[in-house]
Amino acid sequence: MEVAGNKVVLHHLFTERRLTPLNLFLREAGPAAAREALADLGEAIRDLARVNIFPGDLLLKNFGLTRHGRVVFYDYDEIAFLTDVSFREMPRGGDGDGEGDEPAFYVGENDVFPEEFMTFLGLRGAAREAFLDLNRDLLGIRFWRTTQRQIRAGEILDIFSYPETRRLRRGSPPD
């Protein structure tokens, strides 16, 4: 930005639509609305992955609900290219030599353990069960590694703006 005489000139500007942080929405939402938002949360995470974005901070407060009920990610300070992340399974057993919060196994800078996502999301009770029912695939490495392979192979992965019930189907007239 600069002041030029009696004008303020903006050279670069970010704008953002008003959102309801997902953590606040879920506190007040009824079961059906919460389930719908959690389904869309999973789709938002999958959509980011399909365009080679990994949202490093998987906290509910970093996702918001638009006035149309869509979940979007809006905290960009911890994002990474999905293809730069190493998705790993948590080692089983171990020798218990970890001290405090430190694991008893090696963790590289770009290592991510999807089964730990539920800890960061902080979902409890019915919301937790709904997320697990709808999005369990996000808590394992298969989805993430498959998506990485597809991106590295140059595949263009589908992102749908509308739920399946509202999409046009080949050979069928619109409703």
**Interatomic CA distance for residues 135 and 131, integer angstroms:** 6
**Interatomic CA distance for residues 125 and 121, integer angstroms:** 13
pTM for the whole structure: 0.81
**Interatomic CA distance for residues 84 and 148, integer angstroms:** 9
> Tens digit of pLDDT for each residue in 38-86?
999 999 999 999 999 999 889 999 999 999 889 999 888 889 999 999 9
Go through the domains of the chain in sequence order and give each one's CATH number: 14-90+105-155 (1.10.510)
The percentage of the chain sitting over the pLDDT mark of 90, rounded to a whole number, equals 65
Q: Is the pLDDT of residue 141 over 90?
A: yes
Residue-averaged pLDDT of the chain: 89
